[in-house]
């Protein structure tokens, strides 16, 4: 009986030690060894820019997509705490809509201000002049602040009214 347990344990150890990442040498001698990976499809849709409504209704999976809209408010923690008019006190997120006058929470998306640069250059608490401006973000759709939005995975930003 003990011999059977030892045999099974030995097989488990061999099986588990055989699992691992395959690291291939780099073609360039100066680069570090990197893991070679072939994506099944492009993780970014660079071609299409979606409206806020299309973004809300769309199912993009883990693909990063462009969405454009007008900055119509600021928010933190929940869409219930949205600020729709100046003065703005939140730098956590901005709200985008297809219309610069939109205040319906069902017709806006949330964009997280993921770093200091975004908070200093885009967030409405320190940039009230950005209220009503048109902007586009490239990122992965996620639920954020209780509504559709882009959280953490913001790959690019472009002002559309400059």
Q: Is 52 helix (H, G, I), strand (E, B) or coil?
A: helix
Q: What CATH number has the domain spanning 44-159?
A: 2.40.50.200
What is the rounded distance in angstroms from the CA atom of residue 62 to the CA atom of residue 59? 9
Distance CA 134, CA 51 (A): 11
Q: List C-alpha distances in Å: 87 to 15, 68, 73, 121, 154.
A: 62, 23, 10, 16, 26
SS3 33: coil
Mean pLDDT of all residues in the chain?
A: 83
Low-confidence ranges of the chain (pLDDT < 50): 19-41
Number of C-beta neighbours around residue 102 at 10 A? 19
Q: What is the pLDDT of residue 14?
A: 58
Spatial contact of 109 and 150, defined as CB atoms under 8 Å apart? yes
pLDDT at 3: 63
pLDDT in the model for residue 29: 42
Rounded to 5°, angle at Cα 107 from 156 and 142:
45
How far apart CA 93 and CA 19 sit, in angstroms, is 42
pLDDT of residue 161: 84
Break the chain into its structural domains and give their ranges. 44-159
pLDDT of residue 30: 42
The pTM of this model reads 0.72
């Amino acid at each position: 009986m003990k011999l059977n347990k030892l045999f099974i344990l030995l097989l488990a150890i061999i099986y588990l030690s055989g699992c691992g990442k395959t690291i291939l040498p780099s073609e360039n001698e100066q680069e570090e060894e990197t893991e070679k990976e072939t994506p099944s499809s492009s993780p970014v849709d660079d071609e299409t820019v979606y409206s806020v409504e299309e973004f809300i209704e769309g199912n993009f999976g883990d693909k990063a997509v462009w969405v454009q809209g007008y900055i119509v408010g600021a928010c933190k923690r929940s869409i219930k705490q949205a600020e729709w008019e100046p003065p703005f006190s939140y730098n956590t997120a901005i709200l985008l809509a297809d219309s610069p006058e939109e205040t319906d929470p069902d017709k806006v998306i949330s964009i997280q201000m993921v770093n200091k640069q975004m908070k200093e250059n885009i967030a409405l608490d320190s940039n009230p002049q950005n209220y009503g401006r048109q902007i586009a973000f490239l990122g992965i759709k996620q639920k954020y602040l209780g509504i559709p939005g882009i959280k953490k995975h913001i790959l690019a930003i472009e002002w559309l009214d400059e």
